Amino acid sequence: MISFIFLVTIFLIIIGISGVMFKKNLIKIVMSVNIIGAGVNLFLIALGYRSGGVVPIFTNAPGLNMVSPTPQALILTSIVINLAITALLLSLAVLIYKGNKEK
């Protein structure tokens, strides 16, 4: 059975994609790209979740269910990439606005 987190993830990605496809306002398109990024981040965190998991710092604990640190590292990288994409898209939106204003 699909859990609630995966349904929310799918919902966020669909909302973001529909915003990118159907909106004409550049700021709304940038916001939609951020919503897609939030959905992907939620998906990666949901993949790394383990019920009853322990922080992987305690390496001398035998027989415990450790949480994988890889999805957490991917999320940190994804947040930085989303920030760079947002800055690039907003700067392009400002340049397009200035270009249309001069005509």
Token couple for 42: 């939620």
At 70, the amino acid letter reads: T
CA distance 44 to 7: 13
Question: Over its length of 103 residues, how does the chain's per-residue pLDDT go in tens digits?
Answer: 468 999 999 999 999 999 999 999 999 999 999 999 999 999 998 888 877 777 777 666 666 777 888 888 889 999 999 999 999 999 999 999 998 887 6
Token couple for 52: 């009853």
pTM for the model stands at 0.83
Give 9-65 as a DSSP string.
HHHHHHHHHHHHHH---HHHHHHHHHHHHHHHHHHHHHHH--TT-B-TT-TT-TT--
